């Protein structure tokens, strides 16, 4: 069969990563976590003393780090200049700074090119998850999914992942990050006109996975 390109977008805590990895694994497709790439470039900026409040400084450094993503859904990897950054990109510091870095147009251009070249390079196809995949990165994707969930459900899932983190603080941080991601000028978080919206509030992860797998199979 021809390669199938699946774009999965939505705000934080809607189950994008768990769903995308499982769907890719079940269908034998590659997997790309684009949030991890924005986190990786943010980690590099922080580590190299770039002032996150200075978009010009971020823009000037946008091409410097070498970011490599491994696309096996069973074991996705991410390195910056050869260093494994899978753990340090999940710290609260990086999470709180990533929206400012990802809003800089030079950063988006750089990371978008990387994403397109990875998607083009897959033989059987790929599941790409993010915020602007269906609208900007891969507008010709065979299937576009937009996952949503109530703020309460999203905060509960995130604080479950963060083991014991305060649900209210998590909820506030999530809402703030989504507002920044939705409000930025360059390729904001948005549902593509031709995306299928799936509200996951009342669904189990297994149900969401089955729903997306069925939609992909209809396209193949």
| # binding residues, ligand C5P (CB under 6 A) | 14
What is the DSSP code string of the chain? ---EEEEEE--TTSSHHHHHHHHHHHHT-EEEEHHHHHHHHHHHHHHTT--TT-HHHHHHHTTSS-EEEE--TTS-EEEETTEE-TTGGGSHHHHHHHHHHHTSHHHHHHHHHHHHHHHHT-SSEEEEEESSIIIII-TT-SEEEEEE--HHHHHHHHHHHTTS--HHHHHHHHHHHHHHHHH-SSS-S---TTPEEEE-TT--HHHHHHHHHHHHHHH-
Nearer to ligand C5P, 182 or 201 (CB): 182
The answer to whether residue 71 forms part of the interface with ligand C5P (CB under 6 A) is no
State which of residues 23, 132, 138, 154 lies at the interface with ligand C5P (CB under 6 A). Answer: 132
The answer to whether residue 192 forms part of the interface with ligand C5P (CB under 6 A) is no
75-83, 95-103, 140-148, 158-166 -> range binding ligand C5P (CB under 6 A): 95-103
Site for ligand C5P in 34-63 (CB under 6 A): 34-35, 38-39
62-70, 116-124, 129-137, 155-163 -> range binding ligand C5P (CB under 6 A): 129-137
The answer to whether residue 170 forms part of the interface with ligand C5P (CB under 6 A) is no
The answer to whether residue 99 forms part of the interface with ligand C5P (CB under 6 A) is yes
The answer to whether residue 69 forms part of the interface with ligand C5P (CB under 6 A) is no
- Numbered residues of the known binding site for ATP: 10-18
Nearer to ligand C5P, 144 or 177 (CB): 177
The residues of the shown chain that bind ligand C5P, judged by CB under 6 A, are 12, 34-35, 38-39, 98-99, 102, 130-133, 177, 181
């Amino acid at each position: 069969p021809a390669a199938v390109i699946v774009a999965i977008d939505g705000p934080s805590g809607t189950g994008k990563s768990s769903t995308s990895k499982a769907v890719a694994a079940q269908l034998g497709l590659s997997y790309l976590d684009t949030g991890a790439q924005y986190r990786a470039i943010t980690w590099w900026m922080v580590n190299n003393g770039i002032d996150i409040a200075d978009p010009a400084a971020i823009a000037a450094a946008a091409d410097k780090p070498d970011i490599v993503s491994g696309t096996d859904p069973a074991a996705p990897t991410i390195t910056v200049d050869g260093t494994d950054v899978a753990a340090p990109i999940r710290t609260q510091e990086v999470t709180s700074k990533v929206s400012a870095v990802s809003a800089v147009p030079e950063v988006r251009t750089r990371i978008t090119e990387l994403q397109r070249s990875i998607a083009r390079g897959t033989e059987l196809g790929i599941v790409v998850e993010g915020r602007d995949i269906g609208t900007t990165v891969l507008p010709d994707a065979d299937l576009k999914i937009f996952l949503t969930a109530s703020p309460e459900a999203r905060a509960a899932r995130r604080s479950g992942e963060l083991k014991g983190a305060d649900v209210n603080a998590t909820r506030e941080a999530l809402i703030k990050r989504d507002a920044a991601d939705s409000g930025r000028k360059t390729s904001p978080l948005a549902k593509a006109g031709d995306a299928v919206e799936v509200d996951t509030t009342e669904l189990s992860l297994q149900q969401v996975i089955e729903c997306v797998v069925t939609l992909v199979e209809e396209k193949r």
